[in-house]
Amino acid sequence: MVSGLTGENQAAGISTSCQVVLQVLIILTGNYNFFNLLTIALCISILDDKCFSRASEDANKKPGSIFRLVGFGISVLATGLVLGIGAHYTVKLFSLEHNPDFTIKSQIAFTEKQFHDWLEMIMPWTMRLGAASLAFEIFKAINMSRKLKSGWVMKGLSQFQIMFFGIIAAAMFSISLVPFAALDKAAQRSLPQPIVHLHSQLRPFHLTSPYGLFRRMTGVGGRPEVIVEGSYEANRGWKEYNFLYKPGDVSARPPIVAPHQPRLDWQMWFAALGNYQNHRWFVTLLYRLLTAQPEVLELMGDNPFPEKPPNYVRALLYHYHYTPSTPLNSSQKKDWWERTLKAEYIPVLAKNDSNLLEFLRHNRILEEPPPSETTPLSKAVKWIRQLIGQPEGFRFVMSLFTSAVLLRHLTAFLPV
């Protein structure tokens, strides 16, 4: 990743390499769909074009490129050092151990106080390093503008532009420190009051924010999951609806999802974090199960009511705990999860329930859909869908990706 980097691009190459390695590790240990791939794409975009051009490789082979070779060696050494230190402390701080059954055991080896003490120590240094890096880039740009082979008017205009945008960049960096310092109270108190005041004045414009995907950890006390059940009788005979990807059956092995993103399973996770009043689509889902709508059932696992739909449905809230260390014997079925019933998510509903029907009418769910236009393409898509059914998401995405790579390489051998 850092080949071809020289001088000012070394820091970008090192940070990109570290971030890419982090994203790959997250891909290997979690199912975050395509978000990590998007982050890797954004990281690669900060690299210089020379990193991907053969011209820079040829330049390194020319005589007198000793400085390029030294810069390349320093960048590789720095990258290896950063990654090595990161790997060492990851193993140490999380007590990573490799088990004989090819699983990894981990346990947090630091206290909450130690973590906050570390934040209090490191936060001021990160802010100083960011300020120094920005100042260095601004002064470097000013120095480069002085070496332009042009008249004094163009030089003056260039320096004015650099100073103008440099002031804007410094202001943006300053106000961005306010949401950044929210990680530590001591860092918040250390910020100058004019910066805090400027941030509060510009907050309506959303120039900066503490946004971070999944920046707040959920499920620490158990992963909340909504389990949907159906029955022909209101007080007994309840059977669970299993989904294709989200936890349900405690003995079902967690599937590989990334880079596929199952829309329904993804929304079920958000529904479990709140209530059905804030997720009205969930009530519609239950109604579709009562009417056995094929398009909805195809998004789920095996239908527990294959002959006719249930008369009643309900939803319960469970907390799931991952149990990968459960022993697996020939006479014992392994449970990947342990779950505890927490509450009733939604009460028992029937197809002819007056409140349910009123809700559906209010949200225009029961209205007849407009007739869809039938074209040869739509007929072909429906025919293919009926032929292959509902493909498994991960295999389908990887099949498309593999086919595209093979076609790309096969076309290279075709005569032009």
Task: Quote the CA–CA distance of 42 and 205 in Å, as a whole number.
Answer: 24
Please indicate, yes or no, whether residues 289 and 361 belong to a single structural domain of this protein. yes
Dihedral angle of Cα 54, 55, 57, 60, to the nearest 10 degrees: 180
Total count of residues recorded for the chain: 416
Structure tokens at 191: 């910020």
Full residue range of the structural domain in which residue 171 is found: 112-215
Is the predicted pLDDT of residue 330 greater than 50, yes or no?
no
pLDDT band at 8 (very low <50, low <70, confident <90, very high): low
pLDDT band at 63 (very low <50, low <70, confident <90, very high): very low
Is the predicted pLDDT of residue 116 greater than 80, yes or no?
yes
Radius of gyration, alpha carbons of the chain? 29
Please indicate, yes or no, whether residues 290 and 354 belong to a single structural domain of this protein. yes
Please indicate, yes or no, whether residues 234 and 361 belong to a single structural domain of this protein. yes
**Amino acid 200: pLDDT:** 92
In the chain, % of residues over pLDDT 90: 29
Q: Is 343 helix (H, G, I), strand (E, B) or coil?
A: strand
At which of 159, 190, 215 does a domain end?
A: 215
Q: Note the Cα 382 to chain centre separation in Å.
A: 32
Could you tell me if 193 and 229 are in contact, meaning their C-beta atoms sit under 8 angstroms apart?
Answer: no
Q: What average pLDDT does the segment 262-290 reach?
A: 91
At which of 157, 183, 215 does a domain end?
A: 215
| Integer angstrom CA distances of residue 23 from 32, 40, 41, 175 | 10, 7, 11, 28
Amino acid in position 245: Y
Whether 23 is in a domain gets the answer no
**Amino acid 2: pLDDT:** 41
Q: What average pLDDT does the segment 132-149 reach?
A: 86
pLDDT band at 258 (very low <50, low <70, confident <90, very high): confident
Please indicate, yes or no, whether residues 134 and 261 belong to a single structural domain of this protein. no
Whether 141 is in a domain gets the answer yes
**Amino acid 147: pLDDT:** 79
State pLDDT tens for residues 198-230.
999 998 888 888 776 666 777 778 899 999 999
**Amino acid 155: pLDDT:** 81
Dihedral angle of Cα 331, 336, 338, 344, to the nearest 10 degrees: -120
Q: What average pLDDT does the segment 280-308 reach?
A: 91
Domain total of the chain: 3
Greatest mean pLDDT among 236-245, 361-370, 392-401 lies in: 236-245
Dihedral angle of Cα 331, 335, 340, 343, to the nearest 10 degrees: -110
pLDDT band at 318 (very low <50, low <70, confident <90, very high): very high
Q: Of 76-85, 374-383, 405-414, which range is least confident?
A: 405-414
Amino acid in position 249: D
Task: Quote the CA–CA distance of 252 and 256 in Å, as a whole number.
Answer: 12
Please indicate, yes or no, whether residues 296 and 227 belong to a single structural domain of this protein. yes
At which of 162, 195, 215 does a domain end?
A: 215
Is the predicted pLDDT of residue 19 greater than 60, yes or no?
yes
**Amino acid 196: pLDDT:** 92
- For 262, other C-beta atoms within 10 Å of its C-beta total 19
In the chain, % of residues over pLDDT 70: 86
State pLDDT tens for residues 156-200.
888 889 999 999 999 999 999 999 998 888 888 889 999 999 999
Task: Quote the CA–CA distance of 47 and 13 in Å, as a whole number.
Answer: 7
Could you tell me if 66 and 35 are in contact, meaning their C-beta atoms sit under 8 angstroms apart?
Answer: no
**Amino acid 75: pLDDT:** 73
Q: What is the mean pLDDT of the chain?
A: 83
Whether 79 is in a domain gets the answer no
Residue of 305 and 261 predicted with greater confidence: 305
Whether 208 is in a domain gets the answer yes
Is the predicted pLDDT of residue 300 greater than 60, yes or no?
yes
Please indicate, yes or no, whether residues 247 and 362 belong to a single structural domain of this protein. yes
Is the predicted pLDDT of residue 350 greater than 80, yes or no?
yes
Beta-carbon contacts of residue 226 (< 8 Å; ≥ 6 apart): 268, 271, 272, 282, 315, 316, 317, 318, 345
pLDDT band at 287 (very low <50, low <70, confident <90, very high): very high
Q: Is 151 helix (H, G, I), strand (E, B) or coil?
A: coil
Closest CA to 223 of 273, 267, 160, 296: 273
